[in-house]
Amino acid sequence: MDKLTTSFRYRTSEEGLTVEEILRDDWKAGKKTVHQMRMDKAVMDTAGHPLEWRTPLEAGTELVFHFKDVYSSYKPDEHVTVSILFEDEHILAALKPAGMAIHPDETDEGGTFMNAVMAHVVRNGGAYAEHIHRLDKGTEGIVLIAKHPIAKALFDRMIEERAITRIYHAEVDGRVKRMRGTLQYPIGRDRHHPTRRRVSPGGQDAITRYRVIERNDESTLVEASLETGRTHQIRVHFSHIGHPVKGDTLYGGSETTDGNYRLIATKVSFIHPFTKELTTIEAK
């Protein structure tokens, strides 16, 4: 797609902050990003005049941040649609259907979640959309999308620092005996399979907390929250304790008629790094 300007507006909340302090101290933007934005005179007032970076600003000053030639390569695809659950200047949250890939394998492909998100962004005059986390193709639920590079960097760091709460509902095979528990097993690659993961002593630390919502004769509905975000984490952990997610045949789960997993990302919650407000988004 054409290289369009990506921009966002921000209103200062504290008296006396400078542009440099907002970027460097509050948002902790990288040195390279700060330097480039200074060279590009990328921060302006609402009249389009570049601002001095070290001049204290009055509380309530509205700033406009521009990113020259910053755009995403996903091809907008109007033939696929997703439900937008939340959107502001910085991020959006959309509901990914089960069975839809999160992004294309090749940049010119369509039909994926990110192609649908990009179509929405372009329709509204934007040019940038990058997912902050992922869901497996067979999983339904909420995905957070950054609408500019600073939001992407901030939310990536929040994921690393476990500052975003992510809640899932999963129907797993069998009757889970304990009403609640913590699954803390390191997860690594399975050397015998190209995409599968496994519990491994040499793997990355992984923590899943759960509580039982409902028990049936052959399955259990659980609510699971992630303290870490390892690939296939919920699927690997519940398979490891003998209760694989229904439909997840890769990890021993029973088959479902549609071939999708009975796993839904139902809720995300975080302190918004730009507004400082507790933000909770739930699947409808």
Distance from C-alpha of 149 to C-alpha of 162, rounded to nearest angstrom:
20
Tell which residue, 121, 36, 34, 32, has the closest CA to residue 74: 121
> How far is the CA of 163 from the CAs of 75, 154, 159, 238, in angstroms?
31, 11, 6, 23
Catalytic status, residue 136: yes
Determine the angle formed by the axes of helices 31-39 and 149-160, rounding to 10 degrees.
170
Up-side HSE of residue 281: CA atoms within 13 Å toward CB? 23
Q: Which residues of 244-273 are buried (b: 16+ CB within 10 A; e: fewer)?
A: bbbbbebbebbebeeebbbbbbbbbebeeb
Q: Which of 77, 136, 173, 248 is catalytic?
A: 136
**129 and 147 Cβ atoms separated by less than 8 Å:** yes
Tell which residue, 73, 78, 89, 91, has the closest CA to residue 119: 78
Residues recognised as catalytic: 136
